[in-house]
Amino acid sequence: MNSPIQGQIIALWVVFLFGMVFHSQLAMMPLLYGESIAIPRYNGKTPVSHLWMMLGFFALPLVAIAATSLYSSPSYRLCHFGLTLVYSLLNLFHAALDLTLRPIEWYQIALMVMVFMNGLLLNWVAYQWL
């Protein structure tokens, strides 16, 4: 790692990943109380495409963490900044979709807002690094 700002970026990506893991974990908490969290239209079968999308969604930040610790070229910095913008837009979209679910799970909204705010901070730090 060449600069303190790379350490900040890595820390912010780790916070993002923790937030998303906690978001998934919170969604599964009803299982501990015997509630169903199944999506009725899928008849108990997870589409393989959903699993690949989730893998990609979590894998790209992992790659960004590793790459940020190793690279600092101008072209990497630009690609990285673009990636942070994409993730911020995805988080905003995700939070907006969570607001359409009934009943609204306000603890999930609060967590997604925190993840989104972390993303905005990541955008800012990545922009400074750019």
pLDDT tens readout for residues 73-122: 999 999 999 999 999 999 999 999 999 988 899 999 999 999 999 999 99
What would the two tokens of residue 96 be? 């907006």
Q: What's the gap between Cα 67 and its chain centre?
A: 17
State the Cα–Cα distance between residues 15 and 7, nearest whole angstrom.
Answer: 12
Whole-model pTM: value is 0.90
pLDDT digits (tens, 9 = 90+) for 108-122: 999 999 999 999 999
Fill in the DSSP letter of residue 102: S
Residue 105 burial by Cβ neighbours in a 10 Å radius (0-12, 13-18, 19+): middle
